[in-house]
Amino acid sequence: MYISASGGYVGGYIKDKTENIDLLLFNTFRVNNIHIILAIFLVLVLVGIAIISRVKEDKSKPLRYVVSRVVRPGVFRTFTNMGTLSGTTNSTKIEKTLRSIDGDENDIAVDDIIARLYDPDSEVREEAARALGRIKSIDAVKPLLKELNDEQSTIRSQAAIALGKIGDKEALPALFKALESSSEDLQNAAIKALGMLGSDKSIKNLLKIFSKKSEVLEAASAIAVSELGVLEAAWDIIPKMHSSQNPVLTKQLSISIANLLGNNGEFYKYITGSDASRLALVKSLFSDIPKNLEKLVSCCSEYKLSADDKKNLTINFKTIENLFIEKNYVACFTELKKSVISIIKFILIYDDEEVEEESYLEKLFPRNQKIGIWWWFVTQAFESQENSTPQVIKLDILITLYFISTFK
pTM over 0.95: no
Question: Domain tally for the chain?
Answer: 1
Range of the domain at 363: 273-406
Q: Quick one: CA dihedral 45, 48, 50, 55, positive or negative?
A: negative
pLDDT, tens digit (0-9, with 9 covering 90-100), for 152-177: 999 999 999 999 999 898 998 898 88
Give the list of residues 6+ apart from residue 147 with CB closer than 8 angstroms, or none. Answer: 117, 129, 153, 155, 156, 159
Element (H, E) at 172: helix 172-178
The DSSP bridge partners found for residue 22 are 32
**336 in any annotated domain:** yes
Q: How far apart are CA 229 and CA 206, in angstroms?
A: 13
* Per-residue CA distances from 355 to 298, 348, 352, 361 (Å): 18, 7, 9, 10
pLDDT band of residue 54 (cuts 50, 70, 90) is low
**218 in any annotated domain:** no
Helices (H) and strands (E) in the chain, counts: 21, 2
**136 in any annotated domain:** no
Q: How far apart are CA 147 and CA 153, in angstroms?
A: 6
- Residue environment code for 196-211, b if the CB has 16+ CB neighbours within 10 A, otherwise e: bbbeeebbebbbebbe
Contact 308, 314 (CB under 8 A): no
**372 in any annotated domain:** yes
**139 in any annotated domain:** no
SS3 (DSSP) at 32:
strand
Phi, psi of 22, deg, nearest 5? -155, 95
**290 in any annotated domain:** yes
**313 in any annotated domain:** yes
pLDDT, tens digit (0-9, with 9 covering 90-100), for 74-104: 555 655 666 566 666 688 888 888 888 877 6
Other beta carbons less than 10 A from residue 377's beta carbon: 24
**45 in any annotated domain:** no
pLDDT, tens digit (0-9, with 9 covering 90-100), for 266-304: 999 999 989 899 999 999 999 999 989 999 999 888 899
